[in-house]
Amino acid sequence: MTVPSPQFLAFAAVAALLFNAMDRDWWRQSVLLAANAVFLVSFSNDPVAFLPFAGFLALGYAAQRITRDGARPLLFAGLLVATIAAFFWLKRYTFLPNAVFLTFPYILIGLSYVFFRVVHLIIDSHQGAVDKPVGLLSYLNYTLNFTSLTSGPIQCYQDYRATELKPPALDIPIAGRALERIVIGYFKVAIVSMLLSQAQQQAFAALGASHPMWERIFLTGQVVVLYPLYLYCNFSGYVDVVIGTARFFRIALRENFDRPFSSGNFLDFWSHWHMTLSNWLKTYVYNPLLSLMMKRSSTPALDPYLAVIAFFVTFFLVGIWHGRTSIFLVFGFLQGLGVSGNKLYQILMARWLGKKPYKALGANPLYHALARGLTFTWFAFSLIFFWSNWDQVHALGDAVGWTGAALLSGLVFAVASVALALWEAVRKVILSVCHAGEPVVTSRYLRTAFTTAMIAITFAAAALKAVPAPEIVYKAF
């Protein structure tokens, strides 16, 4: 079952009606478990295909129960390592020999996001951050929640448990806003991301023909620039749909995006892009790693530079998590280089200029616009190693060469700096137009008109082209 799709929305609507038909905890949890099971079965009707997934869930459940509240530290470490190793094994990472893998096909849908939930639960249970032992029904509904199974957002168990104990209210205004969010998300995925994806693929296909250098640079620029916009609309649209859907099941999922392309540096960008992943990495990788290095360091002056190392390691692991092949090592290296280089730059500039002058420089509109453009440029070029394979990377390189790549980088940087600055200015003007103290563009009447228009456009496009909603990019991970 594709998320989002008409089939998914119809399934979720029926499940939500059943879920809210009775105000009893046992009823709601049973309905949610049944919905999660039906959603999983939609990917395969072979029971054997779910055995490895079930084994991974059983390992996680046993680990968090056995080692909770600081019990058996060595066993905790062993079970945590076993859980991580099981993830690499089931995902068939290429650094492992083929002989160790299972030979029959099995379901992997959502395993990467279940992995984050399970590891978080094992660590938090061991550290005493989970008040009571986690029941099996609660554990299954938390890890297999169909609204966020395939691509997140990553929810903490404590947040999920709070909605079990005290379900958030669901009245007509709240339901209306949830429906509005679903419509916006579906429009972003089914229409906007589809058009951007088609344009990017057409530009890439056109590179195979013989063109003058300037035209090849232009086409390559389209390939590079359009993909991050497509990825944002695809992934954030999916998040809009599942956050809205989860609200009908009295579940409040965390936000995953907050205007990332408005970020003034690469560190700030990752605080606004895939935020639940960034927060998870900060909590369970960056903070423990930095704390360990600082304890072992005998020179306090080196502490800021230890953060540079911790950032690099953390975001290098982002690349390893995203994919099983060598190209994702490059993606992780570029993400790590971006955030660690950004941190090192901040440290050196603050020491050279002083903290207040450096802060004043960051507030300068021209400096901020250029920094925003540089952030987009770095992310766009690093994403080449996210969406492509090595043959496609070589094709892009052959199309423009080193000189063309340098010219293209400068062109993308200049265009991104200007375009994003103009967007910020236009957005500010639009939000400044108010009525009764409220921006007109966010008023209920205008939002209703926009939502209605998006529904009409989506239905018209589906009827004319008969094209299903695109697959969610992050479903592959």
Task: Output b/e per residue, 314-350; b: 16+ Cβ within 10 A.
Answer: bbbbbbebbbbeebbebbbbbbbbbbbbbbbebeeee
Distance CA(28)–CA(168), nearest Å, equals 13
Token pair 């079930």: residue: 54
Domain residues of the chain, as ranges? Answer: 260-432
pLDDT in tens, 247-275: 999 999 999 999 999 999 999 999 999 99
pLDDT tens, position by position, 75-112 = 999 999 999 999 999 999 888 888 999 999 999 888 99
Which ranges constitute the DSSP H helices of 433-477?
Answer: 444-465
Burial of residue 300 (CB within 10 Å: 0-12, 13-18, 19+) is exposed
- pLDDT score of 69: 86
Beta bridge partners of 435: 438
Structure tokens at 33: 């478990």
Of 68, 62, 74, 84, nearest to 123 by C-alpha is 68
Q: What is the pLDDT of residues 55-81, one digit of tens each?
A: 999 999 999 999 988 888 899 999 999
Instruction: List pLDDT tens digits, range 141-169.
Output: 999 999 999 988 999 999 999 999 999 99
Residue 423, pLDDT > 80, answer: yes
Quick check: 443 pLDDT over 70? Answer: yes
Q: Average pLDDT, whole number, for the chain?
A: 92
Mean pLDDT of 414-419: 97
Alpha helix (H) ranges present in 365-389? Answer: 365-382, 384-387
Provide CB contacts within 8 A for 311, sequence distance 6+.
267, 286, 336, 339, 340, 343
| Percent of the chain residues topping a pLDDT of 70 | 98
Report the alpha-carbon distance of residue 406 to residue 466 in Å, rounded: 41
C-alpha 107/C-alpha 3 separation (Å) is 16
Give the residue carrying structure tokens 């293209």. Answer: 408
Q: What gap in Å lies between CA 60 and CA 206, rounded to an integer?
A: 48
